[in-house]
Protein backbone atom coordinates (compact mmCIF):
# COMPACT_ATOMS: atom_id res chain seq x y z
CA UNK A 1 0.00 0.00 0.00
CA UNK A 2 1.24 3.47 -0.88
CA UNK A 3 -0.19 6.32 1.22
CA UNK A 4 1.00 9.54 -0.41
CA UNK A 5 0.22 13.29 -0.26
CA UNK A 6 -2.43 13.16 2.47
CA UNK A 7 -3.14 15.60 5.29
CA UNK A 8 -4.58 14.15 8.50
CA UNK A 9 -5.67 16.39 11.39
CA UNK A 10 -7.48 16.19 14.73
CA UNK A 11 -7.66 12.40 15.08
CA UNK A 12 -6.35 9.86 17.58
CA UNK A 13 -3.83 8.48 15.06
CA UNK A 14 -3.01 10.28 11.83
CA UNK A 15 -1.97 6.92 10.36
CA UNK A 16 -2.06 3.59 12.20
CA UNK A 17 -0.29 0.62 10.62
CA UNK A 18 -0.52 -2.68 12.48
CA UNK A 19 0.47 -6.01 10.94
CA UNK A 20 1.10 -4.03 7.75
CA UNK A 21 4.31 -5.26 6.15
CA UNK A 22 6.03 -3.62 3.18
CA UNK A 23 3.90 -0.46 3.06
CA UNK A 24 5.07 3.00 1.97
CA UNK A 25 4.10 6.23 3.70
CA UNK A 26 5.42 9.18 1.66
CA UNK A 27 4.91 12.99 1.60
CA UNK A 28 2.06 13.14 4.14
CA UNK A 29 1.26 15.65 6.89
CA UNK A 30 -0.13 14.55 10.27
CA UNK A 31 -0.87 17.55 12.50
CA UNK A 32 -2.66 18.09 15.81
CA UNK A 33 -3.35 14.39 16.46
CA UNK A 34 -2.73 12.18 19.48
CA UNK A 35 -0.03 10.39 17.46
CA UNK A 36 1.04 11.44 13.99
CA UNK A 37 2.11 8.04 12.63
CA UNK A 38 1.59 4.90 14.75
CA UNK A 39 3.60 2.09 13.20
CA UNK A 40 3.18 -1.20 15.03
CA UNK A 41 4.10 -4.87 14.58
CA UNK A 42 5.20 -4.50 10.97
CA UNK A 43 8.34 -4.90 8.90
CA UNK A 44 9.73 -3.54 5.68
CA UNK A 45 8.03 -0.13 5.99
CA UNK A 46 9.24 2.95 4.14
CA UNK A 47 8.33 6.17 5.97
CA UNK A 48 9.83 8.99 3.93
CA UNK A 49 9.43 12.79 3.65
CA UNK A 50 6.44 13.06 5.98
CA UNK A 51 5.70 15.84 8.45
CA UNK A 52 4.49 15.20 12.00
CA UNK A 53 3.47 18.50 13.59
CA UNK A 54 2.09 19.26 17.08
CA UNK A 55 0.99 15.69 17.85
CA UNK A 56 0.75 15.98 21.61
CA UNK A 57 -2.31 14.07 22.80
CA UNK A 58 -2.20 11.33 25.44
CA UNK A 59 0.78 9.65 23.77
CA UNK A 60 2.10 12.66 21.89
CA UNK A 61 4.45 10.99 19.39
CA UNK A 62 5.29 12.34 15.96
CA UNK A 63 6.22 8.80 14.92
CA UNK A 64 5.62 5.80 17.16
CA UNK A 65 7.62 2.76 16.00
CA UNK A 66 6.56 -0.19 18.17
CA UNK A 67 7.75 -3.69 17.25
CA UNK A 68 8.87 -2.42 13.83
CA UNK A 69 11.63 -4.33 12.04
CA UNK A 70 13.83 -3.75 9.01
CA UNK A 71 12.16 -0.47 8.07
CA UNK A 72 13.37 2.94 6.90
CA UNK A 73 12.31 6.21 8.52
CA UNK A 74 14.04 8.90 6.49
CA UNK A 75 13.74 12.55 5.52
CA UNK A 76 10.82 13.27 7.83
CA UNK A 77 10.14 16.53 9.69
CA UNK A 78 9.15 15.86 13.30
CA UNK A 79 8.17 19.22 14.76
CA UNK A 80 6.70 20.27 18.14
CA UNK A 81 5.54 16.83 19.29
CA UNK A 82 5.86 15.53 22.84
CA UNK A 83 8.27 12.86 21.45
CA UNK A 84 9.52 13.37 17.92
CA UNK A 85 10.25 9.66 17.44
CA UNK A 86 9.38 6.98 19.99
CA UNK A 87 11.00 3.57 19.50
CA UNK A 88 9.71 0.57 21.45
CA UNK A 89 11.22 -2.85 20.75
CA UNK A 90 12.15 -1.68 17.24
CA UNK A 91 14.81 -3.86 15.59
CA UNK A 92 17.14 -3.36 12.63
CA UNK A 93 15.74 -0.08 11.31
CA UNK A 94 17.30 2.84 9.43
CA UNK A 95 16.56 6.24 11.00
CA UNK A 96 18.30 8.68 8.73
CA UNK A 97 18.24 12.30 7.58
CA UNK A 98 15.24 13.37 9.68
CA UNK A 99 14.70 16.89 11.04
CA UNK A 100 13.82 16.59 14.73
CA UNK A 101 12.84 20.10 15.80
CA UNK A 102 11.30 21.58 18.96
CA UNK A 103 9.98 18.35 20.45
CA UNK A 104 9.89 17.67 24.17
CA UNK A 105 12.19 14.69 23.50
CA UNK A 106 13.74 14.26 20.07
CA UNK A 107 14.13 10.46 20.06
CA UNK A 108 12.97 8.28 22.95
CA UNK A 109 14.24 4.70 22.68
CA UNK A 110 12.74 2.09 25.01
CA UNK A 111 12.31 -1.66 25.45
CA UNK A 112 15.52 -2.85 23.84
CA UNK A 113 15.45 -1.23 20.42
CA UNK A 114 18.58 -2.66 18.76
CA UNK A 115 20.61 -2.72 15.57
CA UNK A 116 19.40 0.60 14.21
CA UNK A 117 21.35 2.83 11.88
CA UNK A 118 20.79 6.32 13.28
CA UNK A 119 22.67 8.84 11.15
CA UNK A 120 22.40 12.24 9.50
CA UNK A 121 19.52 13.43 11.68
CA UNK A 122 19.30 17.09 12.73
CA UNK A 123 18.34 17.68 16.36
CA UNK A 124 17.35 21.32 16.80
CA UNK A 125 15.94 23.02 19.91
CA UNK A 126 14.39 19.93 21.48
CA UNK A 127 13.82 19.93 25.24
CA UNK A 128 16.02 16.84 25.32
CA UNK A 129 17.71 15.45 22.19
CA UNK A 130 17.53 11.75 23.12
CA UNK A 131 16.38 9.52 25.94
CA UNK A 132 16.96 5.82 26.47
CA UNK A 133 16.18 3.52 29.38
CA UNK A 134 19.07 1.24 28.44
CA UNK A 135 22.46 1.19 30.06
CA UNK A 136 24.18 -0.52 27.12
CA UNK A 137 26.06 1.16 24.32
CA UNK A 138 23.96 2.74 21.58
CA UNK A 139 25.71 3.21 18.22
CA UNK A 140 24.78 6.29 16.19
CA UNK A 141 26.32 7.90 13.12
CA UNK A 142 28.05 4.68 12.16
CA UNK A 143 30.17 4.59 15.32
CA UNK A 144 30.30 2.36 18.37
Domain segments of the chain as ranges = 2-128
0.85 exceeded by pTM = yes
Query: With 80 as the cut, is the pLDDT of residue 38 above it?
Result: yes
pLDDT for 40-54, tens place per residue? 999 999 999 999 999
What pLDDT is attached to residue 136?
56
Q: Do the Cβ atoms of 103 and 79 come closer than 8 Å?
A: yes
Asked which of 20-29, 57-66, 115-124, 126-135 is least confident by mean pLDDT, the reply is 126-135
What average pLDDT does the segment 114-122 reach?
90
What pLDDT is attached to residue 47?
98
What average pLDDT does the segment 88-93 reach?
92
Burial of 90 (0-12, 13-18, 19+ CB in 10 A): buried
Phi and psi at residue 22, to the nearest 5°: 60, 35
Which pLDDT band, with edges at 50, 70 and 90, does 39 fall under? very high
Amino acid sequence: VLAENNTIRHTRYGVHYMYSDDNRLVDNVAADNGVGYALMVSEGLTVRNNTALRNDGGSGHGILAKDIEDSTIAGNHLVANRNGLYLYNAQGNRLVDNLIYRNGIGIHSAAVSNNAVVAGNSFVRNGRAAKTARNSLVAWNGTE
